[in-house]
Amino acid sequence: MNYIIYITYIGFLFSAIQGLISKDCKDNSPLCSRILKHCKTPIYLRLMQKHCALSCKFCSLPPNPTRPPLVRDRIHNCHTMIDQCNSEEFKAYMERNCKRTCSTLTTKSTTTTTISPDTTGVENIESSGIIDGDDENLTTTTIEPEPEPVNE
């Protein structure tokens, strides 16, 4: 009775480990654990690779997923000094001690409003406000001059 429980446990453990390893990495024979000495024997090498890849350790576990590095502030009051992140005087200090706070900043660029007279008396006004480096937000507005009142 204990033998059946032991075999069931080993089978469960084997299938759990096999699930962690790539699907191609498996033993195709129940005898693999008994013939491990042939894993490195040149005559049996191809046969063992095909039928006992898992037991002979011819395959490996999939690589662990990599995590992005943890970015933290080393001091507690970085949020009060956020204006210093881009300051030349304090930049090195802020990068070392307030890396998380300073990494949340994004550089915004602004464009100025340009008014250019047109030869037909029509003014083109170009403005965009704050943009993030793309010109798709650029808008052009045309203003027609008001007609002169006609005195009759």
Say if 13 falls within a structural domain: yes
Residue 57 lies in a domain: no
Do 134 and 118 reside in the same domain of the chain?
A: yes
Whether residue 131 lies inside any domain: the answer is yes
Task: Work out how many domains the chain is built from and give that number.
Answer: 3
Assess if residue 88 is contained within a domain: yes
- pLDDT tens per residue, range 133-149: 444 544 455 556 666 66
Based on the domain organization, do 12 and 25 belong to the same domain?
Answer: yes
pTM across the whole model: 0.29
61 located within any domain: no
Q: Are 102 and 82 in contact (CB under 8 A)?
A: yes
CB-based contact 72:98 (threshold 8 Å) = no
Q: Note whether 38 and 77 are same-domain residues.
A: no
Could you read off the pLDDT of 58-84 as tens digits, one per residue? Answer: 887 667 778 877 888 999 999 999 999
Domain ranges, residue 10: 2-51
